[in-house]
Chains A and B, each alone.
Chain A
């Protein structure tokens, strides 16, 4: 029963009156934002992966199971992959792991603001931390899963090249896209609970609309050009080119038939980012009272 824990310091008498503007997406200084973002993401990561017995294994088993099933179906039943596409197994695994990141990060982020209700209703902090930290946790997860991909890559006889160094750009764009979607959906979910259900369906559609199961094989054909409207397709195709360096695989630029062909994807990317940020900025100050 000691009270010496009470801070004895007298408050700063020189503290000036400053206007308080209420909660916002990013208020409170950038240092605090990044401290809080990092700490929240790490804490959540630890909670999921050190809190349960099998921990991290769970996050690995799901993509691996999917990988196993799809590999069997597409090489043995439909014979899409196999001999025609070099490294089909590695390509499939990489696509699944990258897409799992995007899907899990955004799906978890949709409900994140509501899940964190207790904190949102009682504390002032930059609201943006909540969805972004969810995506960051997903990124930690992805980093671990990438180790498995590296093992497969070597097992399937892909040699390292300098273009591997460009792969982080794919991750960066994927992260930005996931973050933008998460920002928009997480605050919309506060007002409209069907956002979560809708997003599950949309994410499923996007999975098939992204070259994961089937490789993009031709340069500038109509189908390939249509594919390249999807920003995710551009990112995934470029990851394939940089990591697997198959001579036959077209780059995103080639598949889209030139820079003009990439314009729709770039516009969609920018539009989604701006829209997500705008919705979040608009809703953030009133999230606490709408919960």
Chain B
């Protein structure tokens, strides 16, 4: 499951895959080989301990070309924004602040490449902006992936009865657009005796379940370990996090929908118009990469409820399932339920021949 075990061919000309620090040659981040250091090596060597004068503090900052350029443009843009807003006497302080936030948000960088401080900065701006607009306070997290965590999911086909509580819980948890009835999860109703025949399955039923002579199978984003959607994105607005979640930076997405064409599992959704969620139904416990409010013209998808899973909770669909058909957990934890399922059940995945390595398994009792 580790990054270095690759069954597929990848060219990797750009050396973009940097390995997490602290991993050794075995490629196993969990420390199975015994040569992992528990402590991080101290990067501030003692020899470098000397005081910098004022000039050096300002100019002697390590900066690559991109960030230098970005800082230059950003400061220019912010400056221009500040001038336009501060020059007008009529507008109130709040309007000015709103305009300032809009400027900074419009020209901020890609979340994937941000430092932790920059991540916190944009999250603070978004929270403040929401406060200014609606008068309500939300909490938004920018929590990064934890070490030694790789999320995985298992689905028990024998147990699912097609109640769709998972779908409802998902929509409510993740602030999905109500007007277009966007749903990440699809439950396919299949006929007994025909096997997994997706072609004849119905993923849009409106009758009492469980229907006689049918069984049910849920699909959603499978958080592939080799996700085709990530490769094709022209601006790296979508990527695989270190804990295995495939996420989207909604503010960086340009809306070309190439990822939707590349996904073999129908895992992605597009905001064809401005998403609408009634104010009283907005889930205010948010994560930047998860259920924060989206805008029109960007792609979104299941994140295994990053706002919950990184806080140690189960995704909403797992919690809502009345039959216990859904199992979620850390694949690197040998005592987790998901590991027990993988080791003791006959599991399979969909379209394995495509080499996408989904982290979503199906099994039967």
Report if A and B associate in a common complex. no
What residues of chain A have their CB less than 8 Å away from a CB belonging to chain B? none
Contact residues of B with A, CB < 8 Å? none
